[in-house]
Every structure is written in structure tokens, then in C-alpha cells.
Amino acid sequence: MSLCAYGTDKTILVLGDSLSAAYGIDAQSGWVSLLRERLDRAGYRYRVINASISGDTTHGANTRLDAILKEITPDITIVELGGNDGLRGIPPAEIEANLTAIIEKTATAGSRILLAEMLLPPNYGTAYMEKFVALYRDLGARDDVILSNFILADIADNPDLMQSDGIHPKAEAQAMMLENLWPDLYPLLD
């Protein structure tokens, strides 16, 4: 867990997978570090804690969330999870149950929640894809959740912005990832 801080009045917790853990690139080039820099430049006093782990699933994050919340009390939690679950074919109902538990735990701790929508490649079949997309829409309809854009919008389908594995974005895409979340994150800032 990265405990770098740019101000200490409030806390943003980023709970994600490799997309937020800056997989394959220097961590300082990742979108979470760019968020810290943007907040600092704009005069916001937030400590940004990146609790993202490459390869993490909704179950894994939910399992370790209690320990995280014993150490910090986030004012805002950005949840960027579910992609690894979907790639593993985890049933959408299980993914939704884990995300619901994460949302409830962080909301109980007093956090506002920004849930980043996830999308999958089309090879998982129409029925699975529809259920996967619907679970984010359903969770985004909750009063305590803001559903954000797909973090890889306009990135995932551009090979020039993706690493050779076709799954992880290059350093050049990180600012775009932040821009995909920013319009929904900005209104949550104090």
C-alpha cells in the first residue's frame, strides 16, 4: 500500500487492480500518482493512498479491506475492480456481492464511493457480458455510489496506448485514465 501524501486534511483511498497499481510502468507515471499531482496543483489537501494490487479480484480486495479501514478512514474511495473477476469468468452475482460488501464497508466508514465501470473483451458471450455490465449499472444506481466511466475508455481499443499484452495501458495512457475518472471524482472533492 502506497502511503504517499500530498496534504493530510482528507484521504482518498484507491482500491484497484493492476490498472491502478501501474503494472508494467514506473509507479510515478501511473494515474494515481498523476491524481496526487493534480490535487496538489489545484490546492486540494488530500492524502492519496493506493491500496491497489496487480491481479486483485473483488473477493481479494473485500477480504483485505477490513485491515485497511482499521488503518485509515477514507473520505473518498475509488473502487477500480472487477476486470480480473470477469477475465476469470467469475459469476456476475459473486462479483456484485463482493463489490456490494466493499461499498457497504467504505460507506459505513463515512466514505463517498466512486465506482469505475469495467468492461470486458467480447469473447465472453453476450449473456455474460450483459450481466457483467448490468452489475455496474445496478451498483451505480445506489444513493451512496457514483458510477464513473470505463477507466480505459478510448484507450483499450488503441494498440498504441496499450502494452504488448493488450491488457495494460502504457505510461502515455495514464493521463487519459485520470481524465476518464476526473469528471465524476471532481464533484466529490471538498
What are the residues whose beta carbons fall under 8 Å from the beta carbon of 182, sequence distance 6 or more?
38
pLDDT per residue as tens, the chain (190 positions): 444 444 467 999 999 999 999 999 999 999 999 999 999 999 999 999 999 999 999 999 999 999 999 999 999 999 999 999 999 999 999 999 999 999 999 999 999 999 999 999 888 889 999 999 999 999 999 999 999 999 999 999 999 999 999 999 999 999 999 999 999 999 999 8
The pTM of the full predicted model, rounded to 2 decimals, is 0.94
Longest dimension (CA), the chain: 46
Catalytic positions? 18, 165, 168
Query: Which residue, among 123, 125, 130, 115, has the nearest Cα to 166 in the 3D structure?
Result: 123
Backbone phi, then psi, for 81, in 5-degree steps?
-145, 160
pLDDT score for 8: 60
HSE of 168, CA atoms in CB hemisphere, 13 A: 19
- CA–CA distance, 76 with 10 (Å, rounded to integer): 9
Q: Are 74 and 40 in contact (CB under 8 A)?
A: no
